[in-house]
Amino acid sequence: MQTDARSARKLVRYAAEKLACAGVPEPRASAEVLLAELLDIRRGELSAREEPLTDEEAIVYWAWISRRLKREPVQRILGYSYFRNLWLELDEHTLVPRPETESVVDVVLKILNSRDRACRVLELGTGSGAIAISIAQEHPYCDVYATDSSEGALRVARRNAARAGTKVRFYRVDLAFGLSPLLGSIEGLVSNPPYVRSVDIPKLGPEVRGWDPHAALDGGPDGLDFYRRIFEEVPPLLAKGADVVLEVGDGQAEAVLELGRRAGYEPLGAYADLTGRTRTVRLCWA
């Protein structure tokens, strides 16, 4: 390969053209992010980089582009993702954290910051640990707990918590079952449960349906199975007046709030993410 053909600008342009021809979404972004991460520089610095890639760097880059052409997500190719202030390891057991889920953490932190005392927060279905670790990092006066049914996911979450220097207690349980040490003590409960209707999973983009764990996506026939379970199973864990903050899919907010109301919770509202979509609902255990 000629030296000038290994310049960052030319490689990105050529890679983006190949990705676009294959129908890969946001081809330029994929090409730039992969190269910037490979070179350990900021994405905006690529255009000013004069020195060519080494042969070894070029080989790795084109191997990554080949994987992206098969619709493997950028985060899966890299093996990590960014979420708020965190660098999070990922593997086949964990969902790729979505930027919109950061708004769920914002709601929880706003609630916690309105209190002048420590409290106990529990996340159900933690996956990579993104939500629980963010809360522990940004509100260190709270005791944070997290559950998952996948030991593989919990191994990743534990490593992510240790890397972030946070203390989160992890439990391998089926949602909220078997948490006797926490009975009646949880003042804040948060979850991003599976909420995709089973029939809609084959319609998801290849980056999601082909790579994210099926169990982290499938919310049952109407997408609401896990909300029903949460509302039914968590009351023994909750302190009086506990806040319940849940991520929801498009068009699900009213249905989830109504399910909670019927189960004895007081609906307190819904919140939009940065794109303006309703992403989070809040209820109170009355």
Of 3.40.50.720, 3.40.50.150, 3.40.50.300, 2.102.10.10, the CATH number of 95-285 is 3.40.50.150
| Average pLDDT of the chain, as a whole number | 94
pLDDT given at position 2? 45
Convert the pLDDT of each residue in 41-52 to its tens digit.
999 888 888 788
pLDDT given at position 212? 95
Convert the pLDDT of each residue in 3-26 to its tens digit.
455 788 889 999 999 999 999 999
Convert the pLDDT of each residue in 124-140 to its tens digit.
999 999 999 999 999 99
Check pLDDT > 90 for residue 28: yes
- Mean pLDDT for 105-117 is 90
Q: Which residues on adjacent β-strands are paired with residue 266?
A: 284
pLDDT given at position 56? 94
Check pLDDT > 90 for residue 27: yes
pLDDT given at position 3? 41
Convert the pLDDT of each residue in 238-260 to its tens digit.
999 999 999 999 999 999 999 99
How far from chain centre, in Å, is Cα 1?
39
Domain ranges (residues) in the chain? 3-70, 95-285
pLDDT given at position 4? 52
CATH architecture, domain defined by 3-70: Orthogonal Bundle (1.10)
- HEC string of the chain equals CCHHHHCHHHHHHHHHHHHHHCCCCCHHHHHHHHHHHHHCCCHHHHHHCCCCCCHHHHHHHHHHHHHHHCCCCHHHHHCEEEECCEEEECCCCCCCCCHHHHHHHHHHHHHHHCCCCCCEEEEECCCCCHHHHHHHHHCCCCEEEEEECCHHHHHHHHHHHHHHCCCEEEEECCCCCCCHHHCCCEEEEEECCCCECHHHHHHCCHHHHCCCCHHHCECCCCCCHHHHHHHHHCHHHEEEEEEEEEECCCCCHHHHHHHHHHCCEEEEEEEECCCCCEEEEEEEEC
Check pLDDT > 60 for residue 117: yes
pLDDT given at position 216? 94
The one-letter amino acid at 22: A
Q: Which residues on adjacent β-strands are paired with residue 147?
A: 124, 171
pLDDT given at position 286? 82
pLDDT given at position 1? 44
- Mean pLDDT for 191-195 is 97
Check pLDDT > 60 for residue 167: yes
Convert the pLDDT of each residue in 54-99 to its tens digit.
999 999 999 999 999 999 999 999 999 999 999 999 999 999 999 9
- Mean pLDDT for 188-203 is 97
Q: Which residues on adjacent β-strands are paired with residue 120?
A: 143
Whole-Å CA distances, 13 to 23, 59, 214:
15, 16, 34
Contact predicate 152/78, CB 8 Å: no
Whole-Å CA distances, 226 to 174, 207, 234, 246, 260:
11, 23, 12, 11, 12
Most distant pair of Cα atoms in the chain: their distance: 69
Contact predicate 5/62, CB 8 Å: no
